[in-house]
């Protein structure tokens, strides 16, 4: 968050603080801190960017989707968690993620 406030006009910081990696990473951190509402908001922002075709590392996508599924399960919404994991599995296949990431997506189910 502090990096985004330094100078949001700098291109390098813009990429770091306004991309799917930023939102998924911060969402994961907020999940660990048990700030579930903020975590979900960040994870969904990252997920939306990924859906729109923003390219980011497959491991970031995988971690973000798995964290969102864990959050949904924590809140007692197992159906939503499964839907999130199915979406991850589809993305991993469609975008030809590395075999270990596809296996991780499959194992999460």
Other Cβ atoms less than 10 A from the Cβ of 47: the count is: 22
What is the model's pLDDT at position 89? 93
User: What separation, in Å, do the N-terminal and C-terminal C-alpha atoms of the chain show?
Assistant: 32
CB burial of 50-79 (b: ≥16 within 10 Å; e: otherwise) equals beeeeebebebbbbbbbbbbbbbeeeeeee
What is the model's pLDDT at position 68? 97
Q: What is the pLDDT along the chain (109 residues), one digit of tens a residue?
A: 555 555 555 545 445 567 888 899 999 999 999 999 999 999 999 999 998 887 778 898 999 999 999 999 999 999 999 999 999 999 999 988 889 988 988 898 8
Distant-in-sequence, close-in-space partners of 79: CB < 8 Å, separation ≥ 6: none
């Amino acid at each position: 968050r502090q990096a985004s406030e330094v100078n949001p006009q700098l291109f390098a910081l813009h990429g770091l603080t306004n991309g799917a990696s930023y939102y998924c990473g911060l969402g994961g951190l907020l999940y660990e801190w048990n700030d579930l509402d903020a975590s979900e908001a960040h994870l969904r922002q990252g997920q939306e960017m990924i859906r729109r075709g923003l390219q980011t590392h497959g491991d970031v996508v995988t971690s973000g989707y798995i964290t969102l599924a864990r959050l949904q399960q924590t809140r007692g919404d197992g159906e939503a968690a499964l839907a999130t994991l199915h979406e991850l599995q589809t993305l991993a296949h469609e975008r030809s993620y590395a075999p270990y990431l596809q296996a991780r997506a499959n194992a999460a189910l």
